Amino acid sequence: MKFNAIGTCLLGVGTGRANSQRIRPEIISKIRRLTTAGTKPVREIEGEYAWTITVAIPFEVFFHHQVKDLKGKIFRANFYKCGDKLTVSHYVTWNLMGTKKPDYHQPEHFGLLKFV
C-alpha cells in the first residue's frame, strides 16, 4: 500500500513484486485520507517543506487476509518517503532496509506493528 503526499493510493496484493495484482479502485476508495499537502498535484518545492498524511484503513480493505479486529495481531510493515524523481533524490524509512539500493518491497526488512 503506497500513498503520495496528496493521498493518492496504489494498492496491490500478492507474494512479491512479480506476483501481485492491483486492487480495484472501489476497494481503494474506502480508505480515508487526510493530507496537509492538499489533493491536487504539486510541483517540486525548494527549501524546507513538511506535510503529513493521516490514513484510516477499514478492515474490508484487507479482504485477502480476512482481518476482523486488530487486538493481539502483529503485522510486518514499513513506512517510507521516496523522492527518487526529484532534483535532489532522497529516501527515508521508518525501519532500516539493509539493502545497497533503495528497495522497499522486501518484507524481511520490515518492522513489526503490534496491536494490543
Map grid coordinates 480495484 to a residue: 24
H-helix or E-strand containing 28? helix 25-28
Q: Are residues 38 and 93 in the same domain?
A: no
43-74 pLDDT tens trace: 888 888 899 999 999 999 988 888 889 999 99
Domain count, the chain: 2
Q: What is the pLDDT of residue 42?
A: 86
Name the E strands within the chain. 2-3, 9-10, 12-14, 20-22, 32-35, 53-56, 74-77, 80-83, 90-93, 111-114
Structural domain boundaries enclosing 45: 1-67
CB atoms within 10 A of CB 61: 19
Q: Are residues 6 and 53 in the same domain?
A: yes
What pTM was estimated for this model as a whole?
0.81
Q: What is the pLDDT of residue 27?
A: 93
Q: Are residues 52 and 94 in the same domain?
A: no
Read off the pLDDT of each residue in 10-26 and give the average, rounded to a whole number: 84
